[in-house]
Structure 1
Amino acid sequence: MSSGIKPTPQEARRWRRYLADERAEAQVYRSLAERKQGEEREILLGLAEAEKRHEAHWVELLGDEVGKPVSPGLRNRVLGVLARRFGSVFVLALAQSAESRTPYFADAAATPQMAADEMIHEEVLRGLAARGRAHMSGNFRAAVFGANDGLVSNLALVMGMAGTGAGSGVVLAAGIAGLLAGAMSMGAGEFISVRSARELLAASHPSADARAAVPELDLEENELTLVYRSRGMADAEARAKAHEVMSSVHGHPERHVPEGAMPTAAVDVDRDEAIGSAWGAASSSFCFFASGALIPILPFLFGMTGYSALLVAAVLVGLALMITGSVVGLLSGASPLRRALRQLVIGYGAAAITYVLGLAFGASGLVG
Structure 2
Amino acid sequence: MTAPASAEPTAADRRRWARYLVEERAEAYVYQELAARKTGEEREILQSLAEAEHRHEQHWLDLLGGEPARLPRAGLRSRLLGWMAGRFGSIFVLVLAQSAEARSPYDTEKYATPAMRADEKIHYEVVRGLAARGRRRLSGSFRAAVFGANDGLVSNLALVLGIGATGVSSSLVLFSGIAGLLAGALSMGAGEFVSVRSQRELLASTEANEDAALSAGDLDIDENELALVYRARGIDQEDALARSRRIITAAQEGVRRTVTGPIRAHDATSDHELIGSDWTAALSSFLLFASGAIIPVLPWIFGLEGLTAVVVALVLVGVALLGTGAMVGILSGGPPLRRALRQLAIGFGAAAITYALGLLFGVSAV
- The 3-state SS of whatever aligns with 1:49 is helix
- Of 120, 125, 130, 2:125 maps to 120
- Of 157, 160, 177, 1:158 maps to 160
- Of 230, 242, 245, 1:243 maps to 245
Tell me, yes or no, if the aligned pair for 1:191 and 1:281 is still in contact at 8 Å. Answer: yes
After TM superposition, the structure 1 = structure 2 runs for residues 67-78 of structure 1, keeping only pairs within 5 Å, are 68-78=70-80
CA deviations over 1:296-317 (Å, ceiling 9, x no partner): 1111111111111101100000
Which residue in the other structure is 2:310 paired with? 310
After TM superposition, the structure 1 = structure 2 runs for residues 1-368 of structure 1, keeping only pairs within 5 Å, are 2-3=2-3, 4=5, 5-7=7-9, 12-60=14-62, 68-104=70-106, 111=114, 112-126=117-131, 128-130=133-135, 132-133=137-138, 137-250=139-252, 252=253, 254-261=254-261, 262-265=263-266, 269=270, 273=274, 275-363=275-363
Q: In structure 2, do the counterparts of structure 1 residues 68 and 39 end up closer, same or farther at CA, with 3 Å as the change threshold?
A: same
- Give distance in 2, aligned partners of 1:339 and 1:82: 22
- The 3-state SS of whatever aligns with 1:165 is coil
- Give distance in 2, aligned partners of 1:70 and 1:270: 53
CA deviations over 1:78-100 (Å, ceiling 9, x no partner): 22222223344433444344434
- Give distance in 2, aligned partners of 1:160 and 1:57: 64
Larger Rg: 2
- The 3-state SS of whatever aligns with 1:222 is coil
- Give distance in 2, aligned partners of 1:269 and 1:108: 53
Tell me, yes or no, if the aligned pair for 2:91 and 2:131 is still in contact at 8 Å. Answer: no
Tell me, yes or no, if the aligned pair for 1:321 and 1:343 is still in contact at 8 Å. Answer: yes
TM-score by length of 1: 0.83
Tell me, yes or no, if the aligned pair for 2:162 and 2:358 is still in contact at 8 Å. Answer: yes
Q: In structure 2, do the counterparts of structure 1 residues 68 and 295 end up closer, same or farther at CA, with 3 Å as the change threshold?
A: same
- Give distance in 1, aligned partners of 2:201 and 2:106: 49
Name the Cα RMSD after superposition. 3.4
Q: In structure 2, do the counterparts of structure 1 residues 15 and 277 end up closer, same or farther at CA, with 3 Å as the change threshold?
A: farther
Q: Which runs of 5+ in 1 are unaligned?
A: none
Larger mean CA deviation between 186-195 and 333-342 belongs to 333-342
In the TM superposition, what is the alpha-carbon distance from 1:230 to its structure 2 partner?
A: 4.3
- 2:362 maps to a residue whose letter is G
- Give distance in 2, aligned partners of 1:12 and 1:67: 12
In the TM superposition, what is the alpha-carbon distance from 1:222 to its structure 2 partner?
A: 2.4
In the TM superposition, what is the alpha-carbon distance from 1:9 to its structure 2 partner?
A: 5.5
- Give distance in 2, aligned partners of 1:79 and 1:267: 41
TM-score by length of 2: 0.83
Q: In structure 2, do the counterparts of structure 1 residues 245 and 282 end up closer, same or farther at CA, with 3 Å as the change threshold?
A: same
In the TM superposition, what is the alpha-carbon distance from 1:124 to its structure 2 partner?
A: 3.5
In the TM superposition, what is the alpha-carbon distance from 1:215 to its structure 2 partner?
A: 4.1
In the TM superposition, what is the alpha-carbon distance from 1:149 to its structure 2 partner?
A: 0.8
- Give distance in 1, aligned partners of 2:278 and 2:186: 14
In the TM superposition, what is the alpha-carbon distance from 1:332 to its structure 2 partner?
A: 3.4
Higher relative contact order (CA 8 A, sep 6+): 1
- Give distance in 1, aligned partners of 2:98 and 2:277: 28
Q: In structure 2, do the counterparts of structure 1 residues 64 and 258 end up closer, same or farther at CA, with 3 Å as the change threshold?
A: closer
Q: Which runs of 5+ in 2 are unaligned?
A: none
**Sequence identity (%):** 55
